[in-house]
Amino acid sequence: MDDILISLSSLLYSYGTDGYKIFYEDELTEVFPEDLRNRDTLEAALKKLVADGCADVKYVRGEVFCIAALKKYEPPEEIESQNAVENERDELDEPKLNANRVYIYAAVAAFLGGMLGGCVTAIIAAVV
Protein backbone atom coordinates (compact mmCIF):
# COMPACT_ATOMS: atom_id res chain seq x y z
CA MET A 1 0.00 0.00 0.00
CA ASP A 2 2.91 2.34 0.67
CA ASP A 3 3.94 2.15 -3.00
CA ILE A 4 0.46 3.21 -4.07
CA LEU A 5 0.42 6.07 -1.58
CA ILE A 6 3.85 7.27 -2.67
CA SER A 7 2.87 7.15 -6.36
CA LEU A 8 -0.45 8.93 -5.86
CA SER A 9 1.08 11.55 -3.58
CA SER A 10 3.86 12.21 -6.09
CA LEU A 11 1.32 12.64 -8.88
CA LEU A 12 -0.75 15.10 -6.85
CA TYR A 13 2.34 16.94 -5.63
CA SER A 14 3.66 17.29 -9.20
CA TYR A 15 0.71 19.57 -9.99
CA GLY A 16 1.73 21.90 -7.17
CA THR A 17 0.55 22.77 -3.70
CA ASP A 18 -0.98 26.14 -4.49
CA GLY A 19 -4.62 25.07 -4.39
CA TYR A 20 -7.21 22.56 -5.49
CA LYS A 21 -6.88 20.83 -8.85
CA ILE A 22 -9.38 18.81 -10.87
CA PHE A 23 -8.46 15.19 -11.59
CA TYR A 24 -10.29 12.42 -13.38
CA GLU A 25 -10.40 8.94 -11.91
CA ASP A 26 -8.42 7.51 -14.85
CA GLU A 27 -5.60 10.03 -14.26
CA LEU A 28 -5.29 9.06 -10.64
CA THR A 29 -5.51 5.30 -11.08
CA GLU A 30 -2.98 5.13 -13.91
CA VAL A 31 -0.15 5.26 -11.35
CA PHE A 32 -1.49 2.10 -9.66
CA PRO A 33 -0.46 -1.44 -10.58
CA GLU A 34 -2.70 -3.05 -13.22
CA ASP A 35 -4.53 -5.35 -10.79
CA LEU A 36 -5.31 -2.51 -8.35
CA ARG A 37 -6.70 0.07 -10.77
CA ASN A 38 -10.16 0.42 -9.29
CA ARG A 39 -12.27 2.94 -7.42
CA ASP A 40 -11.99 1.14 -4.06
CA THR A 41 -8.20 1.28 -4.07
CA LEU A 42 -8.28 4.94 -5.10
CA GLU A 43 -10.70 5.86 -2.33
CA ALA A 44 -8.70 3.94 0.28
CA ALA A 45 -5.48 5.64 -0.81
CA LEU A 46 -7.09 9.09 -0.77
CA LYS A 47 -8.51 8.47 2.73
CA LYS A 48 -5.05 7.51 3.97
CA LEU A 49 -3.46 10.58 2.36
CA VAL A 50 -6.11 12.84 3.90
CA ALA A 51 -5.66 11.19 7.32
CA ASP A 52 -1.89 11.70 7.11
CA GLY A 53 -2.31 15.36 6.12
CA CYS A 54 -0.80 14.89 2.66
CA ALA A 55 -3.90 15.83 0.64
CA ASP A 56 -7.33 17.38 0.99
CA VAL A 57 -10.35 16.30 -1.04
CA LYS A 58 -12.82 19.11 -1.60
CA TYR A 59 -15.39 17.11 -3.52
CA VAL A 60 -15.98 14.02 -5.65
CA ARG A 61 -18.60 14.05 -8.39
CA GLY A 62 -18.74 10.90 -10.43
CA GLU A 63 -15.29 10.46 -11.93
CA VAL A 64 -14.15 14.01 -11.12
CA PHE A 65 -12.04 14.64 -8.02
CA CYS A 66 -11.12 18.06 -6.64
CA ILE A 67 -7.93 17.52 -4.62
CA ALA A 68 -5.26 19.74 -3.11
CA ALA A 69 -1.80 18.32 -2.47
CA LEU A 70 -0.46 19.50 0.88
CA LYS A 71 2.80 17.59 1.17
CA LYS A 72 4.45 14.42 -0.12
CA TYR A 73 3.64 11.15 1.57
CA GLU A 74 6.50 9.63 3.52
CA PRO A 75 6.08 6.04 4.67
CA PRO A 76 6.71 5.37 8.36
CA GLU A 77 10.28 4.42 9.13
CA GLU A 78 10.85 0.71 9.58
CA ILE A 79 13.72 1.31 12.00
CA GLU A 80 11.30 2.37 14.73
CA SER A 81 9.16 -0.71 14.21
CA GLN A 82 12.22 -2.96 14.35
CA ASN A 83 13.26 -1.35 17.64
CA ALA A 84 9.76 -1.88 18.99
CA VAL A 85 9.89 -5.57 18.04
CA GLU A 86 13.28 -5.97 19.73
CA ASN A 87 11.98 -4.26 22.89
CA GLU A 88 8.97 -6.58 22.93
CA ARG A 89 11.26 -9.59 22.64
CA ASP A 90 13.37 -8.33 25.55
CA GLU A 91 10.25 -7.86 27.65
CA LEU A 92 9.05 -11.37 26.84
CA ASP A 93 12.41 -12.89 27.79
CA GLU A 94 12.40 -11.37 31.27
CA PRO A 95 10.06 -13.19 33.64
CA LYS A 96 8.04 -10.84 35.79
CA LEU A 97 6.72 -11.79 39.21
CA ASN A 98 4.08 -9.60 40.68
CA ALA A 99 3.45 -9.35 44.42
CA ASN A 100 0.29 -11.49 44.40
CA ARG A 101 2.07 -14.43 42.81
CA VAL A 102 4.89 -14.27 45.37
CA TYR A 103 2.38 -14.43 48.23
CA ILE A 104 0.52 -17.34 46.62
CA TYR A 105 3.75 -19.29 46.11
CA ALA A 106 4.77 -18.65 49.73
CA ALA A 107 1.36 -19.74 51.05
CA VAL A 108 1.37 -22.96 48.99
CA ALA A 109 4.92 -23.76 50.11
CA ALA A 110 4.00 -23.17 53.78
CA PHE A 111 0.89 -25.38 53.46
CA LEU A 112 2.86 -28.21 51.82
CA GLY A 113 5.62 -27.87 54.42
CA GLY A 114 3.06 -28.08 57.24
CA MET A 115 1.50 -31.19 55.70
CA LEU A 116 4.89 -32.84 55.29
CA GLY A 117 5.87 -31.98 58.87
CA GLY A 118 2.55 -33.34 60.18
CA CYS A 119 3.01 -36.59 58.25
CA VAL A 120 6.54 -37.06 59.57
CA THR A 121 5.33 -36.40 63.15
CA ALA A 122 2.46 -38.88 62.76
CA ILE A 123 4.85 -41.57 61.43
CA ILE A 124 7.29 -41.05 64.30
CA ALA A 125 4.45 -41.17 66.86
CA ALA A 126 3.10 -44.38 65.34
CA VAL A 127 6.50 -46.07 65.40
CA VAL A 128 7.40 -45.07 68.96
Distances (CA, A) of 128 to 20, 75, 103, 114, 117: 102, 82, 37, 21, 17
- Tell me the pLDDT of the chain averaged across its residues: 83
Per residue in 39-82, pLDDT (tens digit) is 999 999 999 999 988 899 999 999 999 999 988 877 776 545 55
Contact by Cβ (8 Å): 9, 68: no
CA angle at 120 for the pair 119 and 123, rounded to the nearest 5°? 85
CATH number for region 2-69: 1.10.10.10
Distances (CA, A) of 13 to 65, 69, 73, 108: 15, 5, 9, 68
| H/E segment holding residue 37 | none
